[in-house]
Structure 1
Amino acid sequence: MKIIGIIAEYNPFHNGHLYHLQEAQKRTAAADGVICILSGNFLQRGEPALLNKWARAKMALQNGIDLVFELPTLYATHSAYWFARGGIETLTQTGIVTHLAFGVETKKPAVLKEIAAFLAKEAPSYQHRLKNLLQKGLSFPQARIQALPRELLLQNSQTLHSPNNILALNYLQVIYEQKLTLKPVMIERQGSAYMEQNLEKGRYPSAAAIRNYLIQNSTQFLTALQELKEYLPLETINILEDEYKLGQTPVYLELLSPQIMTLLRRTSASELQQIIDISEGLENRIVKTALGCNNLEEFLHALKTKRYTYTRLQRFLIHLLLNYTKEQAVHLKNGPPYLRLLGYTPKGQKLLKEIKKKSTLPLITKGAHIYKYLHNNPTTQCFWKMDVKATNLYTLLYHQQLNRKGNLDYLQEPVFYPGQV
């Protein structure tokens, strides 16, 4: 059996994602199915998703994915390494995934394999260089690259700064660290770069450019959506339209400005120290800066440095909102404690039967199923409570107040897509 695994956010699912999926299927001849591990309602770059996890799961299913499981929030909002590790460990725990398909921005994927193999060894000399560079004020992603041996860095510096390649490196590193049999399927990214903010005619866009266009034109959302027809599958357009009419999209970081500014001003430096991503006295700068800023945008601009990038700071803000502490992060090393089903097709239903035979993790198809696994299991409790909390806070950002009720993780059924009728 050949099963392709994809780790994604699909925020939203666009034509570039469709190309990636179809190319993965071509490269993995006679694949028996595709399983996606999808981020929940808050994402790795420190922002809420444009639309909720069930709507994005529906996009994935209607465009060719067979099964969608949730990437737990503890992984989905963490660094690139933990995002990659959480996604891969969730895929491998299904017991049936054989290939991992992911995008790269290089014509020399072998170089990424070589560097990832080096990183997986964690040589003491490398760790020493990394520590020195961090002490000089470089951000972790920058220091991680600059600490590489000269022969690896010399011709590959530009390649290693691309967000897609950074994530690809982490996928490969986890595969090497854990000595997995998972086969990498590296697909060169087509069209715009990962975080390109502008839409270009005739090219696959970045999800960021699509989001920006919809958010900037949110008062004319349906008109803006029709103007994006060239970049989005029809299924994505229809789902976005439905979610907009329900008052459940667009959701974006600025909507959280009052809540987060409130938290920043009422949380003490000692309390901030408990949140992951906070170190080296950053908590004192945060307390001081929050008092001198009117909103989230001003706060991020004032706090950003060479070491603390916008992405890292945004992640901190989401972690503050979720009260994601260093104590909770300890559970990451235990691996995902369950497989949370978000959606499936008829083919996916058959794959679920195989997973039930081969996986050692509980399969959660309804929220109520989790209760029997919570007793005396602190890791499961920690993961599940965070996923529920994330959804409960996310729905408060809906434009339609009648849809802001909590506990959707217990009430919402997995999405079933029967295919074309």
Structure 2
Amino acid sequence: MRVIGIIAEFNPFHNGHSELIKKAREAVGDPRAVTMSVMSGPFVQRGLPSILPKELRAASALKCGIDVVLEIPFTFACAPSERFARGGIELLYRTGVVTDIAFGVDCKDPKILPELADVSPDDNVLKECLSSGMSFPAARSNAVISALGDISDEKRELVKDALRRPNSILALDYIREIRAMKAGFKIHMIKREGGSSATAIRSDIYGMGSPLSAAALADKLTGSIPDRALAEYLSGIGKDFHMADLDRYARDIISETYRDTDLSGSAYMSDGLDGHIRNTLKAVKATDFASVSAALNTKHFTMPRIYRGITSALLGQRATYVEEEKHVQYIRVLGFTREGRYCLKIMGKCARLPVIHNCSDALELFSSSDRLKKQFELDIAANDLQADYLGTERGLQWKIPPVMVTK
């Protein structure tokens, strides 16, 4: 059985995801290959709450070609590229069933990525560039080019192109982690084509206000999102769900800056980020997400780094915990199809981590592993915090079983 691993966020699911799934099956030469996605949960890699509940995102993926959806634990999902990749790749590897991995790349020449994955940036050049005021992405690009030595102008431009594209940077980290773990996956790099990005779609959705109108959503998103995914979202609107309220998230940020807490010990708050956040928000009048983000924007820190630091502070995730916790502790099942159920049965015999279908399953594991307990409790806290932004009840994780979709 061929099982294709896909790391994604489906925030939300769109036509580009459908194309990736289709081309991944074509690449392995098996139209019936099982697709297993590992997905961020309540907070995404950029540090923000996901726009829609993870159950709805998982259901839309299952309706549109994915067979199994697993959740990346919060501490790896809401993290820099390297840690996000480590969590996603390890999760796929520890299932014991994944044979292939497919991911989208958006650079001009994808063939350059396996070579770049072996290159360590020149630390001296990196430090010099950062100290001169250069942004981290630009400094990293210069440091990698320096480490490559004498290369042609054409190759230099290809390297620069790859290192300024988020999906290609993630692809580099996927390749590095696959090699480091000796996972043995067959790698399929799928060239991304045009079409609406998740960022553009989220912008369209937020532009409609909340609560969402089913008619307005259908009109705005038809053509950008597969019909079955759109139907799932429209069904969700019928159940009176709201999209994540980023203005409320911004108010939490402002409140946190006035609390007598040590932000500097929170994950990703090093290098003076805590002072930048406190000083900036106390000096300017910012009341909503747009104004808070505009105030905090600086060349010294990327916005995802700022959001990840803030979210970590809100959840009490300390820098020491992130340093110490290098591994995923469990496999959390979010949903599956009929074909996926068979794959899960095999995974139950092959997995090298405990498999959690319902939250109550985790309780039985707490006594045997403090690390699992802490990682899972952080997940629950993240889900409860996102519930505040979605306007839903806290604690729903204990009541919601995995989504099952019959195609």
Q: Please, what TM-score do these two structures have when normalized by structure 2?
A: 0.92
Cα deviation 1:156-201 (Å, max 9, x = unaligned)? 212320111111111112122233311211011111xxxxxxxxxx
- Looking at structure 2, the residues matched to 180 and 133 of structure 1 have their Cα atoms a distance apart, in angstroms, of 35
- Looking at structure 1, the residues matched to 163 and 111 of structure 2 have their Cα atoms a distance apart, in angstroms, of 13
- The residue correspondences of 1:8-407 to structure 2 (distance < 5 A) are 8-30=8-30, 32-119=33-120, 126-148=122-144, 149=147, 150=149, 151=151, 153-191=156-194, 204-218=195-209, 221-227=213-219, 228-268=221-261, 271-292=262-283, 293-295=285-287, 296-333=289-326, 335-399=327-391, 404-407=392-395
Label 1:140 to 1:380 Cα distance change in 2 as closer, same or farther (>3 A).
farther
SS of 1:324's equivalent in the other structure is coil
Label 1:156 to 1:69 Cα distance change in 2 as closer, same or farther (>3 A).
same
Paired position in structure 2 for 1:194: none
Q: Following TM superposition, where does structure 1 have runs of at least 4 consecutive aligned residues deviating by more than 4 angstroms?
A: none
Are the aligned partners of 2:107 and 2:161 in contact in 1 as well (CA < 8 Å)?
no
User: Greater shift after overlay, 307-316 or 335-344?
Assistant: 307-316
Counterpart code for 1:61: L
Shift of 1:242: 2.1
Counterpart code for 1:364: I
Counterpart code for 2:277: I
Counterpart code for 1:27: A
The count of residues paired between Structure 1 and Structure 2 equals 395
Shift of 1:332: 3.2
Paired position in structure 2 for 1:4: 4
Paired position in structure 2 for 1:198: none
Counterpart code for 1:314: Y
Shift of 1:311: 2.0
Paired position in structure 2 for 1:415: 403
Cα deviation 1:10-52 (Å, max 9, x = unaligned)? 0111111101111111111125311000110111112111111
SS of 1:342's equivalent in the other structure is strand
Cα deviation 1:129-169 (Å, max 9, x = unaligned)? 33443344444433322211243645421232011111111
- Looking at structure 2, the residues matched to 343 and 389 of structure 1 have their Cα atoms a distance apart, in angstroms, of 21
CA RMSD across the alignment? 1.9
Shift of 1:85: 0.9
Shift of 1:267: 4.0
User: Greater shift after overlay, 213-222 or 158-167?
Assistant: 213-222
SS of 1:147's equivalent in the other structure is helix
Are the aligned partners of 1:48 and 1:394 in contact in 2 as well (CA < 8 Å)?
yes
User: Greater shift after overlay, 132-141 or 155-164?
Assistant: 132-141
Name structure 1 gaps, 5 residues minimum: 192-203
- Looking at structure 1, the residues matched to 250 and 273 of structure 2 have their Cα atoms a distance apart, in angstroms, of 20
Paired position in structure 2 for 1:201: none
- Looking at structure 1, the residues matched to 305 and 216 of structure 2 have their Cα atoms a distance apart, in angstroms, of 30
Are the aligned partners of 2:108 and 2:158 in contact in 1 as well (CA < 8 Å)?
no
Are the aligned partners of 1:331 and 1:379 in contact in 2 as well (CA < 8 Å)?
no
Are the aligned partners of 2:264 and 2:274 in contact in 1 as well (CA < 8 Å)?
yes
Are the aligned partners of 2:69 and 2:335 in contact in 1 as well (CA < 8 Å)?
yes
Paired position in structure 2 for 1:196: none
- Looking at structure 1, the residues matched to 128 and 325 of structure 2 have their Cα atoms a distance apart, in angstroms, of 26
Are the aligned partners of 1:34 and 1:66 in contact in 2 as well (CA < 8 Å)?
yes
Counterpart code for 1:412: I
Counterpart code for 1:240: Y
Are the aligned partners of 2:109 and 2:158 in contact in 1 as well (CA < 8 Å)?
no
Are the aligned partners of 1:214 and 1:224 in contact in 2 as well (CA < 8 Å)?
no
SS of 1:388's equivalent in the other structure is helix
- Looking at structure 1, the residues matched to 115 and 256 of structure 2 have their Cα atoms a distance apart, in angstroms, of 44
Are the aligned partners of 2:13 and 2:57 in contact in 1 as well (CA < 8 Å)?
yes
- Looking at structure 2, the residues matched to 260 and 306 of structure 1 have their Cα atoms a distance apart, in angstroms, of 20
Cα deviation 1:74-107 (Å, max 9, x = unaligned)? 0110001111110000000000101111001134
Name structure 2 gaps, 5 residues minimum: none
Label 1:185 to 1:267 Cα distance change in 2 as closer, same or farther (>3 A).
farther
Are the aligned partners of 2:108 and 2:162 in contact in 1 as well (CA < 8 Å)?
no
Label 1:309 to 1:407 Cα distance change in 2 as closer, same or farther (>3 A).
same
Label 1:224 to 1:105 Cα distance change in 2 as closer, same or farther (>3 A).
same
SS of 1:102's equivalent in the other structure is strand
- Looking at structure 2, the residues matched to 257 and 390 of structure 1 have their Cα atoms a distance apart, in angstroms, of 16
Q: Please, what TM-score do these two structures have when normalized by structure 1?
A: 0.89
Are the aligned partners of 1:13 and 1:232 in contact in 2 as well (CA < 8 Å)?
yes
Label 1:161 to 1:26 Cα distance change in 2 as closer, same or farther (>3 A).
same
State the identity as a percent.
32
Shift of 1:300: 2.9
